[in-house]
Structure 1
Amino acid sequence: MGRNIRKRRSPLTVKVIAASAAVVLGGGGLLYAQMNASAHESNNSAQNYTKAAAASAVATISCPDVGQKLTNVPAKAKQGVATELANLDKQITEAYARLASTRQAQANDANFVQNAIVGPLKEKRAATINRIRLDITRVGGTFDNSLSQLAACTTQSANQTTAGQGNNNGGQNNNGGQNNNGNTGQASAAPSASASAPANIGGQAGNGPVAADFVDITKVAPNVLSKPAKTGQASTGTFTTRCGTNQNKNHNTDNVIVAPGVTNGAHHLHDYVGNQKVNAFATNDSMLAAPSSCQNQSDLSSYYWPVVRVQDGTQDFDQNADGGGKEGNVGKILTPVQAQIKYVGSPASKVVAMPQFLRIITGDAKTTTNGLANANAHWSCTGFENKVQLTTQYPICPQGSNVVRTFAFQSCWDGVNIDSANHRTHVAFADPASGVCGNGFKAIPQLTMRLVYKITPPTIQADGTVKNAFAVDGFPEQLHKPSTDHDDFISVTKNNLAATIANCINTGKRCQ
Structure 2
Amino acid sequence: MQWTSVAAVALLAHSAAAQNMLRFACSQLVVDRVDPLVDPGVVYTPHLHQIVGGNSFNITMDPATHDLPGLSTCTSCTFKEDTSNYWTAVMFFKAKNGTYIRVPQTGNGGPQGQLVNKGGLDVYYIPSGKVTAFKPGFRMLAGSAANEDPKKVQSGSICHRCWTSTNDNNFVGGAPCTGSDTVEIPSDPKCKMIRQTIIFPTCWDGKNLDSPDHKSHVSYSGQGANGGGTCPSAFPVKIPQIMYEVMWDVSNFADKSLWPTDGTSPYIYSMDVGGAAAHGDYIFGWKGDSLQQAMDKNCNLNKDCPAAGLHAQDPSVYGACNVKQQAPEKVDGWLAALPLGTPAMKA
Output the TM-score relative to the length of structure 2.
Answer: 0.64
CA distance in 1, matches of 2:26, 2:160: 22
- Kindly provide the amino acid, as one letter, of the partner of residue 62 in structure 2: T
Say if 1:458 and 1:362 are closer, same or farther in 2 by CA, change over 3 A.
farther
Instruction: Give % identity.
Output: 19
Say if 1:333 and 1:354 are closer, same or farther in 2 by CA, change over 3 A.
same
- Kindly provide the amino acid, as one letter, of the partner of residue 246 in structure 2: L
Residue 237 of structure 1, CA deviation: 1.8
Listed as ranges, the matches of 1:218-367 within 5 Å are 236-244=19-27, 246=28, 250-265=30-45, 267-284=46-63, 285=66, 287-288=68-69, 289-290=71-72, 291-312=74-95, 331-338=100-107, 339-346=121-128, 349-367=129-147
Equivalent position to 1:406, from 193, 197, 211: 197
Say if 1:467 and 1:259 are closer, same or farther in 2 by CA, change over 3 A.
closer
CA distance in 2, matches of 1:463, 1:423: 36
Classify the secondary structure of the residue corresponding to 1:435: coil
- Kindly provide the amino acid, as one letter, of the partner of residue 238 in structure 2: A
Say if 1:257 and 1:400 are closer, same or farther in 2 by CA, change over 3 A.
closer
The residue number in structure 1 matching 2:229 is 435
Tell whether the 8 Å contact from 1:274 to 1:302 is kept in structure 2 after alignment.
Answer: yes
Equivalent position to 1:378, from 141, 159, 165: 159
Say what the alpha-carbon RMSD is for the aligned residues: 3.3
Classify the secondary structure of the residue corresponding to 2:158: coil
- The structure where helix makes up a greater share of residues is 1
Tell whether the 8 Å contact from 1:236 to 1:508 is kept in structure 2 after alignment.
Answer: no
Tell whether the 8 Å contact from 2:189 to 2:255 is kept in structure 1 after alignment.
Answer: no
Output the TM-score relative to the length of structure 1.
Answer: 0.45
Residue 240 of structure 1, CA deviation: 2.2
Say if 1:310 and 1:443 are closer, same or farther in 2 by CA, change over 3 A.
same
The residue number in structure 2 matching 1:395 is 186
Listed as ranges, the matches of 1:110-125 within 5 Å are none
Classify the secondary structure of the residue corresponding to 2:26: coil
Tell whether the 8 Å contact from 2:97 to 2:260 is kept in structure 1 after alignment.
Answer: no
Structure number with the bigger relative contact order (C-alpha 8 A, sep ≥ 6) is 2
Classify the secondary structure of the residue corresponding to 1:394: coil
Say if 1:384 and 1:258 are closer, same or farther in 2 by CA, change over 3 A.
same
Residue 287 of structure 1, CA deviation: 2.9
CA distance in 1, matches of 2:191, 2:185: 17
CA distance in 2, matches of 1:240, 1:299: 13
CA distance in 2, matches of 1:462, 1:510: 38
Q: Alpha-carbon deviations, 1:389-411, whole Å to 9, x = none?
A: 111x2213454741110111111
- Kindly provide the amino acid, as one letter, of the partner of residue 40 in structure 2: P
Classify the secondary structure of the residue corresponding to 1:305: strand
Residue 462 of structure 1, CA deviation: 12
Equivalent position to 1:486, from 249, 261, 279: 279
Q: Give the number of aligned pairs.
A: 254
Residue 357 of structure 1, CA deviation: 2.4
Tell whether the 8 Å contact from 2:267 to 2:274 is kept in structure 1 after alignment.
Answer: no
